[in-house]
């Protein structure tokens, strides 16, 4: 590419930089704007008259005597008990990731090492399951969950999320294990290991990059889920996303829209941190399936 770059005409160069800047603003500005605005009062965040009010914080100054306020966060986290939703999300995400990784690692490894016809069909079935919108399954869950009296609890939701995540995680780990040479565990088996011992002593030490990537995506699926968590969790067990959705109904009428803004920003921050630390793994995970074709 270097030889290309030197000869690029100025017009094209400007076009490229202009477009990149346009995309950068499109991608980043909404988040930065909302984060900044979450420390203001509603009349500043939604300032019809003069949009620079968000930066100067005129109204915020009038109400609180300074141009920043944590009132939205206080209202959301303490008054509306968003901290409860935060901890519920933490429990749900961590458990979902741990359980679905355990199951999918074993399954994905088996699929990658079995050349039989049925392993192909299992992958196709998993692909079809992956394509189903999760919400189509929910009406199938509700009746039995009521009957067994397990509706609304965190463990039920965790198990459902694990199952819904399985097809995707399975595919991802399957294609990862295929990149680990078969000879590695074959030779361990020649040395007298059983398949499981080969897996334990040879594969487990080298599988962590793939497992971490799959874990990240499994975390995101659980963290970002709305349909399942909103319909399967009771009011007091709500995780962050359904809680935010229920804020929309209540706070908009009570004029506490800044609570919802603060809650939304609180839900974004963990994702920001995640992208910051795991950018490389996320990118490799997104392309893993693609490179396989």
Partner 1 sequence: MKHKTFFWFFLPTALAMFLFIALPLTSIVSQSLHTPHDAGIWLLLNRVIHLVVNLKLLLIIRQVKKSTKSKPQGKWVGFQIYTDRNHLAFKEVGEFWESKTSFIDFVSSLNDLPFYRAMGFTLTYTFVVTPLVILFGFIIALAVNSLHRHLKGFMVFFSLLPMIVTPLVGSLILFWMIDARGIIGSGLQELFADPTLSLKASTGLTWITLIVYGVWHSAPFAFIVFYAGLQTVPQETIEAAMIDGATRFQQTIHVIVPHLSPLVAFVALIQLMDNFRVFEPIVGFSASAHATSLSWIIWNDIGQEIRLLSSAATTSVLTIIGVIILLMPVLIRTWREFNPEK
Q: Which of 219, 217, 187 is nearest to 201 (CA)?
A: 187
Alpha-carbon distance of 167 to 126, in angstroms, equals 5
Quick check: 193 binds partner 1 (CB under 8 A)?
no
Quick check: 23 binds partner 1 (CB under 8 A)?
yes
The pattern of x and - marking residues 249 through 268 that bind partner 1 according to CB under 8 A reads -----------xx--x--xx
Q: How many residues does the chain have?
A: 293
Q: Which two tokens stand for residue 229?
A: 């968590």
Quick check: 187 binds partner 1 (CB under 8 A)?
no
Quick check: 203 binds partner 1 (CB under 8 A)?
no
Q: How far is the CB of 68 from partner 1 (least distance, A)?
A: 18
Does residue 43 contact residue 229 with C-beta atoms inside 8 Å? no
Give how far Cα 5 sits from Cα of 14, 89, 183, 232, Å. Answer: 13, 47, 43, 54
The pattern of x and - marking residues 32 through 51 that bind partner 1 according to CB under 8 A reads -xx----------xxxx--x
Residues 6 or more apart whose Cβ sits within 8 Å of residue 36: 54, 55
- Which among 63-71, 77-85, 128-136, 205-213 is the span making contact with partner 1, rule CB under 8 A? 128-136
Query: Closer CB to partner 1, residue 111 or residue 202?
Result: 111
Alpha-carbon distance of 69 to 77, in angstroms, equals 14
Quick check: 102 binds partner 1 (CB under 8 A)?
yes
Residues between 152 and 181 that touch partner 1 (CB under 8 A):
159-160, 162-164, 166-167, 170
Quick check: 245 binds partner 1 (CB under 8 A)?
yes
């Amino acid at each position: 590419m270097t030889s290309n770059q030197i000869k690029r005409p100025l017009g094209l160069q400007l076009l490229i930089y202009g477009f990149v800047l346009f995309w950068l603003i499109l991608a980043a500005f909404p988040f930065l704007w909302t984060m900044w605005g979450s420390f203001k009062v509603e009349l500043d965040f939604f300032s019809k008259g003069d949009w620079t009010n968000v930066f100067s914080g005129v109204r915020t100054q009038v109400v609180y005597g300074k141009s920043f306020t944590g009132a939205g966060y206080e209202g959301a986290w303490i008054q509306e008990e968003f901290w409860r939703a935060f901890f519920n999300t933490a429990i749900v995400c961590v458990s979902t990731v741990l359980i679905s990784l355990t199951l999918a690692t074993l399954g994905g490894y088996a699929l990658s090492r079995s050349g039989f016809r049925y392993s192909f069909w299992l992958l196709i079935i998993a692909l079809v399951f992956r394509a189903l919108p999760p919400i189509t399954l929910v009406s199938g869950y509700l009746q039995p969950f009521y009957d067994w009296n397990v509706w609304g609890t965190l463990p039920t939701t965790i198990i459902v999320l694990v199952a819904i995540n399985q097809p995707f995680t399975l595919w991802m780990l399957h294609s990862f294990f295929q990149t680990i040479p078969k000879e590695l565990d074959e030779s361990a088996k020649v040395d007298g290991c059983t398949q499981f011992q080969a897996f334990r002593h040879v594969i487990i030490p080298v599988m962590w990059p793939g497992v971490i990537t799959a874990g990240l995506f499994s975390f995101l699926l659980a963290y970002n889920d709305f349909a399942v968590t909103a319909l399967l969790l009771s009011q007091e067990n709500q995780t962050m996303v359904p809680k935010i959705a229920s804020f929309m109904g209540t706070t908009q009428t009570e004029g506490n829209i800044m609570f919802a803004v603060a809650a939304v920003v609180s839900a974004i921050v963990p994702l920001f941190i995640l992208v910051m630390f795991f950018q490389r793994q996320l990118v490799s995970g997104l392309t893993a399936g693609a490179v396989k074709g």
